[in-house]
Amino acid sequence: MNEDPKRKGRPPLQEGKRTFKIDVRFTEEEYKLILDMEKTLSISKTNLIRTKVLRNGAGTVLNAKALIRELSLLSTELGRSGNNINQLAHHANTLKLKSVLSPAVVKRFILLLENHLKTRAELNISLRRLIRILGS
């Protein structure tokens, strides 16, 4: 193929070229919904509709900014809970050195710590599932 040196722009696609077009009409309410989804999800109307139609609605379209914000909040809360556990352990050690640590408090602390660790493990599993879904 002879290339024109004056021609600029992206080279034409050799594979995966989209040559077919489908026209679709929407009601005003439907179009507003699509515009809202486009704004919320930060993807074009074309990609939004293509994803929903070709994946038969099975493809998950999500707002990446909101997901990252929520994961950041989750990370912050996990950090806070770890800090609280460290403070409780430090306080328990101080009470133990003074010989005023009650065995009931120790049992309760261990029970709460085990519950926390179980919840963290479940959260870890959920996050791994989410990563797998997003990767596919």
pLDDT band at 115 (very low <50, low <70, confident <90, very high): confident
Q: Which two tokens stand for residue 130?
A: 């989410």
- 60 in Cβ contact with 81 (< 8 Å): no
| pLDDT tens per residue, range 80-108 | 888 888 888 898 889 989 999 888 888 88
Close Cβ partners of 51 (under 8 Å, ≥ 6 residues apart): 43, 59, 61
Mean per-residue pLDDT for 118-122?
Answer: 88
Q: What is the pLDDT of residues 18-76, one digit of tens each?
A: 888 888 899 999 999 889 888 887 788 888 888 878 776 555 566 777 778 888 888 88
Residue 51 Cα distances to 20, 47, 119, angstroms? 16, 6, 34
Does the model's pTM come out above 0.75?
no
